[in-house]
Amino acid sequence: MGSWYSSEPWRKVEWEESTRNSLKTSVQNYTPIIKSVPRARILLVGDVGAGKSSFFNSISSVFCGSITSQANAGPNLTSQTLKFRTYNVREGKGGRPLSFLLCDTMGLEQTANGGVNTDDIESILKGYIPDGYQFDPKIPWNQNGDQAHTPPLKERIHCVVFVVDASTLPLKYSKDDRPKKFIKIKERANLLEVPLMVLLTKVDRVCPHTGKDLKNVYWSNYLKEQIYKASDFLGIQVSSVFPVKNYCSETELDMRSDILLLAAMQKMLHLADDFFANFVEDGE
């Protein structure tokens, strides 16, 4: 097969409709393990254009049965998302909301006065910032003297997902140039014991064989290397790094894309339940 390929796939996937259906049912039937929380809240953070909004649109498309574009997404140099937004994913068009929310933030942007402020991320993690809050990179959100108020568990973030563009990984994420905002967010999430994972997007663009057929994703030595690189950079275990291909220009759903998207979504929900388990043990 050549140097791009390993002798066997480094993750096992059955590329069948039954796999997609099983994953879809699992995500669709998910409910948090703690009764006081109706929906798991998953926070997506990442650089401008990495694919945060596109991931929500893609997951929504899988459950709608056709391509949708509710969240503003596109290849801009500055963040398309200017507000903190929480998105429902629905069971079919107009159907019931599923038991999780995907929370979208402004892009990180590494300039001093650009992108989301890491203090705002901490406030989001703790459950203080409301849906629709307008980000101001220069001035973080202020509690207005309401420091005594502690948001309930259901308003906090239960899993943080770093969304990373695979095509920028070799350029941006070397050990000598670690973007400070990623590291600060990781440190604050760790202090709050919020689980972390990585979504590696645009894998079809960096591996030509995977671009031709997504079934090659776990045969690719190059993508395996990128997953280990992302794991090493962010200090997140390899088993929590998931490659995906978001829906961008497509007009129809694809089974292979759906399987990767749903597997990543399922992992997020499993991690959220790991977070909830701490509170179940505490008797909440």
Strand, helix or coil at 156? coil
Both structure tokens of 65: 């049965």
Report helix angle 255-281 to 52-64, nearest 10: 100
Task: Quote the distance between the C-alpha of residue 120 and its chain's center.
Answer: 18
pLDDT for 237-255, tens place per residue? 999 999 999 998 888 999 9
The band of 118, judged by pLDDT with boundaries at 50, 70 and 90, is confident
Distance between first and last Cα of the chain: 53
Which pLDDT belongs to residue 112?
56
Which pLDDT belongs to residue 2?
53
Phi, psi of 163 (to 5 degrees): -100, 120
With beta carbons less than 8 A apart as the criterion, state whether 20 and 262 touch.
Answer: yes
Region 146-162: what's the mean pLDDT? 88
Domain ranges within the chain, ordered by starting residue: 38-140+151-281
The band of 261, judged by pLDDT with boundaries at 50, 70 and 90, is very high
Residues in CB range of 117: below 8 A, 6 or more apart:
135, 136, 137, 138, 139, 140
pLDDT for 175-195, tens place per residue? 555 567 888 899 999 999 999
Both structure tokens of 155: 């308003």
Residues, the chain: 284
Helices (H) and strands (E) in the chain, counts: 9, 6
CB 91: neighbour CB atoms within 10 A? Answer: 14
pLDDT for 87-106, tens place per residue? 999 998 889 999 999 999 88
pLDDT for 18-49, tens place per residue? 999 999 999 999 999 999 999 999 999 998 88
CATH of 38-140+151-281, one of 3.60.10.10, 2.60.320.10, 3.50.50.60, 3.40.50.300: 3.40.50.300
**In whole angstroms, what is the distance from residue 138 CA to residue 89 CA?**
32
CA gyration radius for the chain?
Answer: 18
CB 254: neighbour CB atoms within 10 A? Answer: 14
Range in 110-114, 121-125, 275-279 the model is least confident about: 110-114
